[in-house]
A and B are shown apart, each in its own frame.
Chain A
Amino acid sequence: MSDEENRPLGLYIHIPFCNKKCDYCDFVSYSMDRKAQQLYLEALFTEIDMMKSKFYDRVFDSIFIGGGTPSIVYEGFIASLARKIYSSFHFLEKTEFTIEVNPSSFTREKFLEYVQAGVNRISVGVQCIDEKLLREHGRIQSMENIEDTFKMLNSSQFPNINSDVMIGLPGQTVNSVMDTIDYLLKQNIKHISTYTLQIERHTMLYSKLRKGKISPMKDKTMVAIYNQINKTLEKAGFVRYEISNYAKPGFECKHNLKYWDDEISYLGLGVAAHSYIDGYRYYNTKRLDTYIDNLSEGKSPIYSREYVSDEERRTERIMLSLRTKKGLNLEKFKKDFNEDLLRSRSDIIKKMTDKKMIEVKDNFLRIKDDYFAVSNSIIVELI
C-alpha cells in the first residue's frame, strides 16, 4: 500500500450545471442561475476544507474539471475555485489541468481566466459537426460556436486540446463521423476521445427509443466507424492508448490514465463525484440540494463508501488494464494476487492468442487493436 500512497493523485471537480441537458446525457446536471452557482461554489469550498487535512501529506499531479458544462458557470468561478484548491492541496510542478468546455458558452474572457488559473488542457465538447444531428439530439452548440472556439484556441497557440466525438447517434453515418474527425484534425488537436452512445435509462433518448421514434446504430456500422477512425488517426500520428482515447505521443491524458490504474487514487469533489482512495470508493450525493445543505451544516456529502475486496480488485485490474494499449502486467498481477494468469487461464489465453485477439509480450497481456470492440467478452473470459 505504501507504494500506492506515494504515487501522485488526481483531483476531479464536478460542475453540475448545463444550459440544457442533451437528450443522451445521464450525467448529473442542473440548469441554475448565478445564485445557485454561488451557493455551489461555497459548498465546494467547504468540502475542500473538510478534505484538505486528510491529504496534507499527499501530492496531486492532475486536475480535471468536468460536468455538466464547466464553461457555463459565471466568470470568476473557475479562477476562484483554482485559487482555493492550490491553497488547499499540494501539486507537482507539471500538474495537468483540464477543463471541459462547450463551444456555446466558451468565451474569450473565460479562456483567459482559465489560462491564468493554470488550465493547460482544454477538452472541447464537439461531439459531431453535423448540425442537423446535433439539433435532433438536443445539443445546443452551433457550427459557428465550434469554429469560433478553435479559432480562439489556435490563434493563441494553446498547446493541448482534446475533443470528444460521439459515435452511435441514431441517424449518424460513417461519413458523418469521418467529417467530424477530418475537421478536428485540421484544428491542431492533440487528443480525441471517442465514445459510443449508450442509451441509458432516464434519458430523453431512452424514451424516444421506447416509443420507437429512433433505432440504435447497428453494431456493424459502429465497428466500421471505429475501423475507419483507427486508420485515419493512425495516419495522422495518433496512438490509441486506451479503448476510447487517441493521442499524439506525449499527450495522453494523465488524469484519465489514473482511472485505468487500480493502484492510483483520485479525489472527486462536488455533487455526484466519485473518489477512489487507498482501496476505498466514495460516492457523493447526486442531489444538488442535499450536497449544498449537508455542507452548509458541516456534514459530509458522501453518500456511500465501499471497500474493494481482493476478488473485486482482481477483476478491476483485468478490466481496467486491458482497456489500455499497455495492457495487463502479468508479473505484477502474479505478485499482487498470487495467481499466474497464464496458467490459471491457459486454455482460453492460448485460444485467444491463436486467434490473434490478444497478445502476450514482455510479460504484458493486451487486447489487439482489432478486438477492442469485443473487449468485454475477452475480459469476461479472464475474470
Chain B
Amino acid sequence: MNRLEKIRNFCIVAHIDHGKSTLADRLMEYTDTVTKRDLSEQMLDSMDIERERGITIKLTPACMKYKYNGEVYTLNLIDTPGHVDFSYEVSRSLVACEGAILVVDATQGVQAQTLANVYLALDANLEIIPVINKIDLPSADIVGTKKEIEDIIGIPCDEACEISAKTGLNIESVLEAVIKNVPSPKGDENAPLKALIFDSYYDSYKGAVSLVRIFDGIVKAGDEILFMQTNKSFTVTEVGIFTPNASAIDQLRAGDVGYIAASIKNVSDTKVGDTITLKNNPVEKALDGYKEATSVVFCGIFPLDGDKYQELQDALEKLKLNDASIHFTKETSLALGHGFRCGFLGLLHMEIITERLEREFNLEIITTAPSVEYKVYDNKGKVYDVTNPSEMPPMASISKMEEPIVNMEIITPKEYLGGIMDLCSDRRGVYHDMQYIDANRTKLIYTMPLNEIVYDFFDKIKSISKGYASMDYELAGYQDSQLVKLDILLNGEICDALSIIVHKDKAYQRGRALCERLKTVIPRHLFEIPIQAVIGGKVIARETISAMRKDVLAKCYGGDVTRKRKLLEKQKEGKKRMRRLGSVDLPSEAFVSILKLDD
C-alpha cells in the first residue's frame, strides 16, 4: 500500500446541536489522539459564546492515527464552521476533503442546515458517510431518520452507523466506515506545489498561520512560497500537523493536511481559498473557487464611553488578526461620536464579534441598527454602495435603488406552517415552493430581501415554531426596490445613529413604532421633546415627551447634605453615560430599541 492509500481527509457536517463536536472529541479519544482528561480541558478553552449557543465557529483540524486490519491510517479531520454565515469557509474546507460524515440527530431528523451543508458536500463530490447519532435517547427514531436521509438527500442508509457520541457507542464503526468508504487523496509529490488555504489563524509567535491541504508537491521550512491571489511571497519558517496541537514536522506532502507558518504579519495575507505554490517553481493555474470574503451585514459600533474609542480600535484590530473577514472603517456620528462602521459575513458573525468585544475586551459598546449593502443609482447613472443610512444621497437625486435578496429555506413542523408563512409574507418574502419532507415536516422556499431578516427574523421563526423550525439562506443577488431613508428627529435635530433604510410600504409602521419606543426609553427632560419620524422632510409620525414636572422637593436637613450631594452626583454620572444630541440626553437603550421593534 502506498503512502496516499493510508490517508483519509474528511469533515463532519451537521445541524447545530446534532452532536458534531462531541463526535469529533470521541474520534480523537478512540484514536488516542487525546486523552479523555485533555478533552474536557479543551472544551473549557473554547469560546464562551460557542459553548452557550452549542455551535462551533472554529475548531482546529486533527491528525489522527488509527490501526485497521494491520495498517496504520492517517485520518485528517477537517472541521467546518456550523453556520450559514460561514458557508464560503465551509465550501473551502469541503474542497480539502474527500469525504464527509453526515451526522443526523435521531430524535430530530434532517434540518435546514443539515441540508445546506450536505448539498455543499455533494457539490464538492465528497463521499457521504451517514451517521445516526443519539440512538441512546428514548425518543430516537432510527428507522425514520434513515428513511428521511434516503428520501430527502438520496443517500442510501442501509449501512449507516448508529451511534451515541455521548456514550461512545459504536464509535469504531465510524472510523472503519471512513477508512472503507472515503477515497484516499490523489496527488503528485513531484509536481509543482499546489496547496489550498482552508483556514488561517494568528499566533503571536509564528504570525499568521495557514491551514492547508496539499494537492501536489512538497513544502518544507526554508521554501520560498507564493500566495497566488495576493501575489505575495514569504519564506516558510515551519510546517506541521495538528495532533491536535500544532507540532512541527519536516515536510508536508501531496495528500497531507497541516499548517504552514512563514512569519506573516496579517491574516489578511493568508486568505481562505487562496493557493500556495513555490515561488521558483509555481503551478500554472491556481485552484478554482476563490472568493473574496464579502461583508453582508453592516453596523456602527461605538464605545459607550467616548473616551474608550482607542480601546475599541485596539480590540477590533486584535480580533481582525484572527478573523480577516471583519471589516471596519472609522465612522463619526453626530449622536454617538467616534466609532467604526463594521462589516460582517452575516448576523451571527456580527453578534459573535460584538459579544467578544464586550466579554473579552470588557468594552461597553453601542451598536446601531444592522444594515445591508444597497445599490443606489443617481440621476446621472452613477452607482453608490450604501451600507450606512447617513451616507445615502438625497432622495431627489436618486433614480433607483436595489437591495440584496436571499434564497431562504425553512423546515418546519406542519403545525407552525401558517405562522411562518404569515411572517415570511410580512417580511416581503416571495413564495416559491413547498416540499413535504415527511408526514410531519415541510420545507418552504422563499426569496426575501436581506434587510427583512437582519433584525429579528431568526428569533421570530424560533418563537413561532417553539424552536422546532430551522432556516438557512444564501445570497441571491439584487432586485429593484422602493426604499426610503427614515430619519428620527429629536427636538428638531436629526439623530443620525437612528436613521434606517426601509421599504416604503413599511416606513409608516416602522416610523410610528420607533417614535413610540423612543418615547418610553428617553427620560423626561426639563424641556418638552418632540420625537418625529421623517422621510425626505415629511413627518410621518410624531410623539412628544412632556417636560418633567417634578423631581424632588424634599426638606433638606444638615445630615442630608452628603446624601443629597451623592444623589445628585449619581444623577450627573447617569447623564454622562448618555449621549447628548443638542439638548437631548439619549440613554444607550434608545439605540438598542431600534433593533427590537415588535411590528
Chains A and B are bound partners: yes
Q: Which residues of A contact B (CB under 8 A)?
A: 12, 167, 193-196, 198, 219-220, 222-223, 226, 243-244, 258-260, 266, 268, 272-276, 281, 283, 306, 312, 315-316, 319-320, 323, 351-352, 355, 357, 372-381, 383
Q: Which of B227-235, B411-419, B472-480, B569-577 is near enough to bind chain A?
A: B569-577
Q: Mark B557-581, 1 if CB is under 8 A from A, else 0.
A: 1110110110111011001000000
Set of chain B residues within 8 Å of A12, measured between Cβ atoms:
558
Most central of A273, A319, A351 by chain B CB within 10 Å = A319
State whether the Cβ of B43 lies closer than 8 Å to any Cβ in chain A: no
Is the beta-carbon distance between B554 and A373 smaller than 8 angstroms? Answer: no
Structural contact, A195 and B553, CB atoms closer than 8 A: yes
A314 to B334 CA separation, bound complex (whole angstroms): 31
Nearest opposing residue in chain A for B569, CB measure: A315
Check A244–B555 contact: CB distance below 8 A. yes
Q: How far is the CA of A110 from the CA of B153 in the complex (A)?
A: 99
Q: Is the CB of A198 within 8 A of B554?
A: yes
**Contacts A259-B558, A316-B565, A355-B527; A196 near B571 (Cβ below 8 A):** no
17 example contacts (A-B, Cβ-Cβ < 8 A) are as follows A195-B553, A222-B549, A243-B553, A259-B558, A274-B559, A276-B558, A276-B561, A319-B565, A319-B568, A375-B552, A376-B551, A376-B552, A376-B571, A377-B548, A377-B571, A381-B526, A383-B569
Check B555 against A351 for contact (C-beta < 8 Å).
no
Q: In the complex the two chains form, is B556's CB within 8 Å of A196's CB?
A: no
Contact: A351 with B583, CB < 8 Å?
yes
Distance, CA A269 to CA B241, complexed state (A):
79
Known: A195-B553, A219-B549, A380-B571. A268 touches B564 (CB 8 A): no
Partner of A377, one of B526, B556, B559: B526
> Chain A contacts of B557 at CB under 8 A?
259, 274
Contact A222 B558, beta carbon cutoff 8 Å: no
Is B466 in contact with chain A by the CB < 8 A criterion?
no
Contact check, A319 vs B554: say whether CB atoms are below 8 A apart.
Answer: no
B550 contacts which of A194, A223, A259, A381 (Cβ < 8 Å)?
A: A223
Residues of A within 8 A of B555 (CB): 193, 195, 244
Chain A residues near B527 (CB-CB < 8 A): 355
Contact B551 A374 (CB under 8 A): yes
CB distance from A181 to the nearest CB of B (A): 15
Q: How far is the CA of A260 from the CA of B558 in the complex (A)?
A: 8
A357 to B548, CA, bound (A): 12
* Chain A residue, CB-CB nearest to B553: A196
Q: How far is the CA of A276 from the CA of B575 in the complex (A)?
A: 29
Cβ contact within 8 Å between A196 and B552 = yes
How far, in whole Å, are A320 and B562 apart by their CA atoms in the complex? 11
Q: Tell me whether A383 and B526 are in contact in the complex, defined as CB-CB below 8 angstroms, given that A219-B550, A223-B550, A374-B551 are known contacts.
A: no
- A195 near B554 with CB under 8 A, answer yes
Which residues of chain B are near A315, meaning CB under 8 Å?
565, 568-569
Q: Write out the residue numbers on chain A whose beta carbons fall within 8 Å of the beta carbon of B558.
A: 12, 258-259, 266, 268, 274-276
- B549 touches which one: A193, A266, A312, A374 (CB < 8 A)? A374
> Does B550 lie within 8 Å of A380, measured CB to CB?
no
Interface residues in B47-73 (C-beta closer than 8 Å to A): none
| Candidates A194, A220, A312, A373; contact of B551 at CB < 8 Å | A373
- Give chain A nearest CB distance to B563 CB in angstroms: 10
Instruction: State the Cβ distance, B568 to closest chain A Cβ, in Å.
Output: 6
Count of B residues near A, CB < 8 Å?
26
For chain B, residues 501 to 548, give those with C-beta under 8 angstroms from any C-beta of chain A.
Answer: 525-527, 548
A274: chain B residues within 8 A (beta carbon): 557-559
| A352 interface neighbour in B526, B559, B567, B571, Cβ under 8 Å | B526
Closest to B557 in A: A259
A10 to chain B, nearest CB (A): 8
* A194 proximity list for chain B (CB < 8 A): 553
B542 CB to closest chain A CB (Å) equals 21
Q: CB < 8 Å: which of A259, A306, A372 contacts B556?
A: A259
Of A320, A355, A383, which is within 8 A of B561 by CB? A320
The CA of A375 and the CA of B558, in the complex, are separated in Å by 18
Docked Cα-Cα span, A258 to B561, in Å, equals: 12
**Residues of chain B lying within 8 A (CB to CB) of residue A381:** 526
Q: How far is the CB of A213 from chain B (nearest CB, A)?
A: 23
Q: A312-B565, A315-B565, A379-B568 are in contact. Are A222 and B553 (CB under 8 A)?
A: yes
How far in angstroms is the closest Cβ of chain A from B383? 43
| Residue numbers in B under 8 Å from A373 (CB-CB) | 549-551, 553
Q: Contact between B549 and A196 (Cβ–Cβ < 8 Å)?
A: no
Chain B residues within an 8 Å CB radius of A273? 559
Question: Which of A243, A268, A351 is B559 in contact with, Cβ under 8 Å?
Answer: A268
Cβ B562 vs Cβ A376 within 8 A: no
Closest Cβ of chain A to B562, distance in Å, is 6
**CB atoms of A380 and B565 under 8 A apart:** no
Q: Knowing that A306-B562, A374-B526, A380-B571 are A-B contacts, what are 8 other residue pairs whose CB atoms are under 8 Å apart, sorted by A's residue number? A: A167-B553, A195-B555, A196-B553, A219-B549, A275-B558, A375-B552, A376-B552, A383-B568
User: Given the complex, which residues of B lie within 8 Å of A275, measured CB to CB?
Assistant: 558
Min Cβ gap A147→B in Å is 25
Q: Identify which of B551, B561, B562 contacts A375 (C-beta below 8 A).
A: B551
Pair B572/A244 contact, Cβ less than 8 Å:
no
Specify which chain B residues have a CB less than 8 angstroms from the CB of A195 in the assembled complex.
Answer: 553-555
CB B571 to nearest CB in A, in angstroms, measures 5
B556 touches A260 (CB 8 A): yes
Would you give the shortest CB distance from B437 to chain A, in whole angstroms?
Answer: 51
Closest to A198 in B: B554
Contact A220 B549 (CB under 8 A): yes
**Distance in Å from the Cβ of B581 to the closest Cβ of chain A?**
14
Give B551's nearest chain A residue, CB to CB: A376
- Residue among B526, B571, B583 with the highest chain A CB neighbour number at 10 A: B526
Assembled-state Cα–Cα distance A274/B557 (Å): 9
List the 10 closest pairs (A to B, CB-CB), nearest first.
A274-B559, A376-B551, A195-B555, A373-B550, A196-B553, A219-B550, A219-B549, A244-B555, A223-B549, A259-B558
Contact across chains for B559 and A283 when beta carbons are under 8 A apart: yes
A279 → chain B closest CB, angstroms: 12
Whole-angstrom distance between the Cβ of B585 and the nearest chain A Cβ: 10
Find chain A residues with CB under 8 A from B572 CB.
380, 383
* Complex contacts, B556 vs chain A, CB 8 Å: 243-244, 259-260, 320, 323
| Cα A12 to Cα B561 with chains together (Å) | 15
Contacts of B565 in A (CB 8 A): 312, 315-316, 319
For A351, the closest partner residue in chain B by CB is B583
Least CB distance, A270 to chain B, in whole angstroms:
12
A281 touches B561 (CB 8 A): yes
> Which residue of B is nearest A168, CB measured?
B553
A316 lies within 8 A of B561 (CB): yes
B204 to nearest A CB, angstroms? Answer: 43
Residue of B548, B561, B572 contacting most chain A CB atoms (<10 Å): B561
| Residues in B neighbouring A320, C-beta threshold 8 A | 556, 561
**Are A259 and B551 neighbours in the complex by a CB distance under 8 Å?**
no
- By a CB distance below 8 angstroms, the chain A residues around B575 are 380
Inter-chain CA distance A90–B166, complex, in Å, is 86
